[in-house]
C-alpha cells in the first residue's frame, strides 16, 4: 500500500459527529443573528445534518441536545434520520438553562434542585434507549462566583453522588462522557474545571465513564495535545469536541484560529491508533455558526479535520522516531513540519472522487439548490436556536 493509499484509508475510517444545535440560530453573548431557512424542528435539523454527510461522506451521526431536541417519539426521529442517510448519536443533557439552576444543578445546595437535575439526566438515558445512542454527554455549569459561597468539598461529594446514580442506570453498551470547562459561568470555581477533575471522577466510576476534551475549554497556551495523549494512553478519552478559539470558548470553526494546533492534536490521535471507531473516541463538532451559513460551515469544518488528519497521517514515523532516538531536535522538528506543510487537498479530492463524492463538497452543496429550497419552504413556525 502506498503512502497516499494509507492516508486515504485512515481518512475513510474517520467519523465526525454533527451537533444538531449548529444548524439553529446561535451567536455571541450580545446578539443572535437569525438566518433564513433555519430548521424549526429536530426533524429539520436532521435533514440539514444529512446534507453535510451527503457531500463529505464523513459525518454519519447527529448529536441531540435535550430538551432542545425533545420530541414525542424518539424512535420515529431515529427512523427519520435513517431515511435521510444518517443516525442519531450522542445525547447531550442540559441542566444549565432552568432558573432553578442559578446556584448549580447536581451540586446545588438544595436537595430538591439536585433531584430535578438527576431526574433529567436519567431521562436522557431513557432517550438513549429509544434512539440506540451509545453516549450520554454531561457538561455542568455548576460552580461558584464568590469565595465562601458554598462548600467546595461538599459540592464535589454531591457531584460524585449524581454521577454514580447516572452510571448505575447505563445499559451494558452505553457510556457517560464527562466534559469540563475552566471558567464560565462560574468564575471563582467551576465544579468540573479541567481534565484532571473529570479524569478523577471517571476513574472512580469505572470503564463506562470517559473524559471529553473540548478545544476551547482551556487556559490560553494550554498544551491540549498533551492532554489528549495522556488520556488516550490511559484509555479514558471518550470524546473530542472540535471547535476553535482566539481568546476563550469562542466555538469558531475548527482549524480557523490555530490549524497547527489541530494538526498536533490529530498527530497524537494517529499515534495512538485512535482515528477509527474501534478505539471509541467520539469526534464531534461543537460550534456556533453566527455570521456564516450553517450547512457550509459544517461542511468546511469536516474538511478542516480531514485535512489536519491527513497531514498527521503523512508524518514520516520512522524518520521521526530515528531523529527522536538520536536526540536530533532540529531533525525531528523538521519531519513534523514537513508533514504539516504538505498540501493534502489534492489527495483528499482524489479520494472523494474515488468514493463517488464530488471532489469539492462546498461547491457541490452550493449547486444542489438545497439552501434556496429550505429558505422557500421553511416559512412560519419558530426557528431553532439556543434553548430551542
pLDDT confidence of residue 387: 60
pLDDT confidence of residue 264: 98
* pLDDT tens sequence for the chain (388 residues): 899 999 999 999 999 999 999 999 987 777 888 999 999 999 999 999 999 999 999 999 999 999 999 999 999 999 999 999 999 999 999 999 999 999 999 999 999 999 999 999 999 999 999 999 999 999 999 999 999 999 999 999 999 999 999 999 999 999 999 999 999 999 999 999 999 999 999 999 999 999 999 999 999 999 999 999 999 999 999 999 999 999 988 899 999 999 999 999 999 999 999 999 999 999 999 998 989 999 999 999 999 999 999 999 999 999 999 999 999 999 999 999 999 999 999 999 999 999 999 999 999 999 999 999 999 999 998 898 876 5
Domains of the chain: 3-377 (3.20.20.150)
The 3-class SS string of the chain reads CCHHHHHHHHHHHCCEEEEHHHHCECECCCCECCCCCCCCCHHHHHHHHHHHHHHHCCCCEEEEECCCCCCCCHHHHHHHHHHHCCEEEEEECCCCCCHHHHHCCCCCCCHHHHHHHHHHHHHHHHHHHHHCCCEEEECCCCEECCCCCCCHHHHHHHHHHHHHHHHHHCCCCCEEEEECCCCCCCCCEECCCCHHHHHHHHHHHCCCEEEEEECCCCCCCCCHHHHHHHHHHCCCEEEEEECECCCCCCCECCCCCCHHHHHHHHHHHHHCCCCCHHHCCEEEECCCCCCCCHHHHHHHHHHHHHHHHHHHHCCCHHHHHHHHHCCCHHHHHHHHHHHHCCCCHHHHHHHHHHCCCCCCHHHHHHHHCHHHHHHHHCCCCCCCECCC
pLDDT confidence of residue 28: 74
pLDDT confidence of residue 110: 98
pLDDT confidence of residue 1: 82
pLDDT confidence of residue 26: 85
pLDDT confidence of residue 147: 98
pLDDT confidence of residue 388: 52
pTM (two decimals)? 0.96
Amino acid at each position: 500500500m502506498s503512502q497516499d493509499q494509507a492516508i486515504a484509508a485512515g481518512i475513510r475510517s474517520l467519523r465526525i459527529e454533527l451537533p444538531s444545535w449548529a444548524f439553529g440560530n446561535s451567536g455571541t453573548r450580545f446578539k443572535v443573528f437569525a438566518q433564513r431557512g433555519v430548521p424549526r424542528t429536530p426533524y429539520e435539523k436532521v435533514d440539514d445534518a444529512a446534507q453535510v454527510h451527503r457531500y463529505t461522506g464523513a459525518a454519519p451521526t447527529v448529536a441531540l441536545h435535550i430538551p432542545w431536541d425533545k420530541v414525542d417519539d424518539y424512535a420515529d426521529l431515529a427512523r427519520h434520520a435513517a431515511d435521510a442517510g444518517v443516525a442519531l448519536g450522542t445525547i447531550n443533557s442540559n441542566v444549565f438553562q432552568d432558573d432553578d439552576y442559578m446556584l448549580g444543578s447536581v451540586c446545588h445546595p438544595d436537595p430538591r434542585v439536585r433531584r430535578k437535575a438527576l431526574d433529567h439526566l436519567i431521562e436522557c438515558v431513557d432517550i438513549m434507549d429509544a434512539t440506540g445512542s451509545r453516549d450520554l454527554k454531561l457538561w455542568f455549569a455548576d460552580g461558584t462566583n464568590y469565595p465562601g459561597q458554598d462548600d467546595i468539598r461538599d459540592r464535589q461529594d454531591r457531584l460524585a453522588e449524581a454521577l454514580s446514580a447516572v452510571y448505575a442506570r447505563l445499559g451494558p453498551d452505553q457510556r457517560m462522557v464527562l466534559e469540563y470547562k475552566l471558567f464560565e459561568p462560574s468564575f471563582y470555581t467551576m465544579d468540573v474545571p479541567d481534565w484532571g477533575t473529570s479524569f478523577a471522577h471517571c476513574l472512580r466510576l469505572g470503564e463506562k465513564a470517559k473524559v471529553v476534551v473540548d478545544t476551547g475549554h482551556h487556559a490560553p497556551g494550554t498544551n491540549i495535545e498533551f492532554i489528549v495523549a495522556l488520556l488516550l494512553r490511559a484509555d479514558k478519552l471518550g470524546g473530542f469536541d472540535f471547535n476553535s478559539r482566539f481568546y476563550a470558548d469562542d466555538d469558531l470553526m475548527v482549524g480557523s484560529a490555530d490549524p497547527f494546533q489541530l494538526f498536533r492534536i490529530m498527530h497524537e490521535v494517529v499515534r495512538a491508533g485512535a482515528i477509527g471507531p474501534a478505539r471509541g473516541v467520539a469526534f464531534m463538532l461543537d460550534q456556533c455558526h453566527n455570521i456564516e451559513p450553517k450547512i457550509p460551515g459544517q461542511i468546511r469544518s469536516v474538511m478542516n479535520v480531514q485535512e489536519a488528519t491527513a497531514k498527521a497521517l503523512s508524518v514520516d514515523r520512522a524518520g521521526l522516531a530515528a531523529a527522536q532516538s538520536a536526540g536530533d531536535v532540529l531533525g525531528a522538528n523538521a519531519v513534523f513540519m514537513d508533514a504539516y506543510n504538505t498540501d493534502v487537498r489534492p489527495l483528499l479530492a482524489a479520494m472523494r472522487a474515488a468514493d463517488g463524492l464530488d471532489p469539492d463538497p462546498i461547491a457541490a452543496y452550493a449547486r444542489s439548490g438545497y439552501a434556496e429550497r429550505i429558505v422557500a419552504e421553511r416559512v412560519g413556525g419558530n426557528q431553532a436556536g439556543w434553548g430551542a
